[in-house]
Amino acid sequence: MPKGKVAVVTGAGKGIGADIAKELGRLGAKVVVVDIDLKSASDVAAGLAATGGEAFGAQANVADPVQVKGVFAAAVEKFGQVDILVNNAGITRDALLIRMREEDWDAVLAVNLKSAFLCTQEAARIMSKRRYGRIINISSVVGQMGNIGQANYCASKAGLIGLTYSNARELARRQVTVNAVAPGFIETDMTRALPEKVREELAAQIPLGTLGQVKDVTNAVVFLAGENSGYITGQVLAVNGGMYM
Ligand code: NAP
């Protein structure tokens, strides 16, 4: 249980990140809800506060080192520490390789991968001193198996796995664990918008036969963020219905 712990969740204004932030808050964590959009971050934080939780919304582009420093300074000022970091912010800029624009490569690598480096660097400084930390990087099944039209996204998500391994080794001596969660196809606005036939084709690739739910990802993150996962580090927890094993 993350009760009393301080969690920073990036890209938490909506989608999977918002659900993770809400669940950590419901379980008693103090939550810093980070998003590039202040209103959505503040709304999620306000929802937590309305149900007796402690949270605040922080606006930041997590690819920007100055803004990232500001988030962690605010977290420490307000809550005194950071115990849990969930690097969840992510974007897609899909195109076939031969048409992919350099700016779309750079944007995806910056938001999906560099952000995790920047946030982890700040979090590690705080966590190392206290000899406690849980860092969870949200990767993707396509970082493990590739996907047509997503060279930038797949490279960023595979990069997060390498970052997880490296940081896990480096921070273990400080009792800071670093793990990745790799979701498969999850029911979100993006997948709900797909035609039924495409959804059926996706489901047919999944041994468990259905797309995952946001809650499936949240449950995995909450486990890795909790006290019962202290002997687990440098792992990639796949939440994909068996589509890649
Ligand atoms: P989402 O609904 O698009 O939410 C992502 C959030 O991150 C949005 O609120 C977005 O804000 C925010 N964000 C984007 N760029 C940011 C930046 N530079 N700084 C701070 N915040 C930023 O995405 P999701 O579907 O919940 O996905 C969450 C994570 O899971 C991502 O890392 C994604 O790659 C991963 N994932 C998702 C699936 C899936 O099926 N959905 C599968 C595998 C992995 P704005 O929207 O306002 O820009």
> Mean pLDDT by 10-residue block, N- to C-terminus, for the chain (245 residues)?
90 98 98 98 97 96 98 98 98 97 98 98 98 98 96 98 98 98 92 86 94 98 97 98 97
Mention every residue, 6+ apart, whose C-beta is less than 8 A from residue 162: none
Distance, in Å, from the CA atom of 111 to the CA atom of 116, rounded to the nearest integer, reads 8
Distance, in Å, from the CA atom of 34 to the CA atom of 220, rounded to the nearest integer, reads 20
Q: Which amino acid is at 191?
A: T
Entry pTM: 0.98
Q: Which amino acid is at 226?
A: G
C-alpha count within 13 angstroms, C-beta hemisphere, residue 200: 3
* pLDDT reported for residue 95: 96
Angle among Cα 160, 229, 45 to the nearest 5 degrees reads: 70
Instruction: Write out residues with Cβ below 6 Å of ligand 1.
Output: 10-11, 13-17, 35-37, 40, 60-63, 88-91, 111, 138, 140, 183, 185-186, 188, 190-191
* pLDDT reported for residue 138: 98
Pocket test for ligand 1, best of 32, 88, 93, 217 (most atoms within 8 A of CB): 88
Q: Which amino acid is at 66?
A: V
Beta-bridge mates of residue 135? 85, 178
CA distances from 209 to 41, 171, 190 (A): 34, 38, 19
* pLDDT reported for residue 1: 67
Element (H, E) at 79: helix 65-79
CA distances from 103 to 32, 42, 99 (A): 30, 30, 12
Distance, in Å, from the CA atom of 4 to the CA atom of 15, rounded to the nearest integer, reads 24
Distance, in Å, from the CA atom of 127 to the CA atom of 131, rounded to the nearest integer, reads 6
Q: Separation of 90 CA from ligand 1 center, angstroms?
A: 4
Cα–chain center distance at 76: 20
Q: Whose CA is nearest to atom 48 of ligand 1?
A: 36
Q: Is 153 a catalytic residue?
A: yes
Q: Separation of 232 CA from ligand 1 center, angstroms?
A: 25
Pocket test for ligand 1, best of 144, 153, 186 (most atoms within 8 A of CB): 186
Q: Which amino acid is at 96?
A: L
Q: Separation of 110 CA from ligand 1 center, angstroms?
A: 13
Burial class (CB in 10 A: 0-12, 13-18, 19+), 199: middle
Helices 102-109 and 151-171 cross at an angle (nearest 10°) of 30
